[in-house]
Chain A
Amino acid sequence: MEKYNAMKNIWFFGDSFTRGDGCIAENESPYYDNYPNLRDTLWTTKLSNKFGMNENNLGESGCSSDWIINTIVDNLYKIKPNDIVILSDTRPSRYLVPRVQDNEIHCFSPGQESIWDWHIKNREDTTKPKEWEDMKRTLIDYTWYFQENYSKLWEEYYLERFKNLQKYFDSIGVTNYFWSYKLWYEKQIDIELISEHIPEIHNEHFSWKGHEQFSKYIESKLNRVTNLI
């Protein structure tokens, strides 16, 4: 633990499980809003406090692994020796596309077609209904042909990129740990979810207890990593 005391920043890169969806105020979560007495801190905050470091949580809800990697690259120059970096991937079928609603890059996740409907319908130019349908059809076809069909390729592609980033962190003396989205997607570890805590809330993210459990899990992994150094 003494090793960590000299460190200043702890960085978290990942998706909604890193961001803390369900347990943060700006997410309009009934779990957070309706059960104020249950509130605690996120796993990222618990770890930051444990190590006495500044928390930099750059998790993004519904994002793709591309998005996560881009965010890491955008912040590489800020990450210093003796910082800690915790990074995770997400479902490989998610991908980046320009978004018609606000002309920005958007992460698309299979199953979000209805959200895309909303984006399309809210376009300023309302004269092209057929093209809206074509756009949605394209999104579904593209997802099937080039994302779902090649999920193994995409997964390996992203893992390779995360590994290369870890090599860089190792080279500058940044303690780092990568955890896979499969921990929650395939339920590889026993972490309590919001829907398990409060069954009437349909949210499959970590509950407050889950955050405590996950912070302990990552802490044990970090201790193992630093023992190896």
Chain B
Amino acid sequence: MNKVWTFGDSFTFGDGCNKWDDYYKNYPKKRGLKFNKLLSNHYDLPLEDFSRNGAPNPWILRNIVSNIHRFEKGDFVSINISDSFRFELPSPSNTTDLQPILNQAADKENPVYGEFDSDGDVNTTVYQYIKYLHMMDINDSDKNKNSVGYKVINDLHMNQFNSIKKLLLKLGVKVVMWDWEGDFVRKYETITKCTNNKIDNYHLSWNGHRQLADKLIKSFHKGITTIKWKNTMQ
């Protein structure tokens, strides 16, 4: 049986629209469905979702590859590409999985290493790793995307995504790759906008999910396999 598959980070996970979120709890009349459930309903196919908040591209790629043997001709696959800065490290508190490291870890004044906060030496190593190796001579977090390291890693990730896209198309799977760079957040309604700034969250509102679902359905229909938003840096 065919399926709708969605892979991605918080934009696919629907940050802000889950039962524990203020937006969900305080605005019940605005509630709708996340874009992946809307796609599933539109095509009347079961949904398989592989998304998590803060997902780095290696995590997303890994989950796609883990499921390649399950894709069938006629499936629909949405691939939400994340920020190429993000990477994964082993965590002292979890010996069975890797921990995502987000952009906040590159802020020298107020670094956020999550699980690594308990060990100063490890924290320093994470920060130094980002500064000297991962981003290559980055000076502050705002310049992540201008760093040489970012470009090198982004190229690596995009090559992998494009190779997977070629395979899926060869298998007869309909695929759309998209990210949340450039005008994405301005184009679709965010939770911040929906709540008139009462909740500061740049992820999609219920209406934003509807808008994105419409865009993806049109892209699947037209055979557009990569959505590029205007003003994207990379």
Contact = CB atoms under 8 A, between A and B. Distances in A.
Interface string B92-104: 0001101000000
Contacts of B125: 138, 141-142, 145-146
Given A73-B163, A77-B163, A168-B69, A153 B96 contact: yes
Interface stretch (B35-43, B127-135, B199-207): B127-135
Nearest to A79: B167
Contact of A105 (B89, B96, B156): B156
Given A98-B149, A139-B132, 8 more contacts: A74-B159, A98-B133, A98-B152, A141-B129, A146-B129, A154-B90, A161-B66, A164-B69
The 8 closest A-B pairs by CB, nearest first: A150-B90, A171-B69, A98-B152, A138-B128, A77-B167, A168-B69, A135-B132, A77-B166
A67 to B, nearest CB: 10
9 contacts: A73-B65, A73-B163, A74-B160, A139-B132, A141-B121, A145-B122, A145-B125, A153-B96, A170-B69
A50 B28 CA distance: 68
A131 interface: yes
A138 B152 contact: no
A100 B132 CA distance: 9
A97 interface: yes
Interface string A99-125: 110011100000000000000000000
B156 to A, nearest CB: 5
Nearest to B161: A73
B160 A70 contact: yes
Contacts of B121: 141, 145
Interface string B13-50: 00000000000000000000000000000000000000
A154 B166 CA distance: 28
A138 B128 CA distance: 6
A97 B90 contact: no
Contacts of A134: 128, 132
Interface in B60-88: 61-62, 65-66, 68-69
Interface residue range, chain B = 35 or more
Q: Looking at chain B's contact residues, is the secondary structure mostly helix, strand, loop, or mixed?
A: helix
B57 to A, nearest CB: 12
A167 interface: yes
Interface string B138-157: 00000000001101110010
Interface in B149-198: 149, 151-153, 156, 159-160, 163-164, 166-167, 170
A164 B65 CA distance: 7
Contact of A153 (B61, B95, B152): B95
Contacts of B134: 97-98
A184 to B, nearest CB: 25
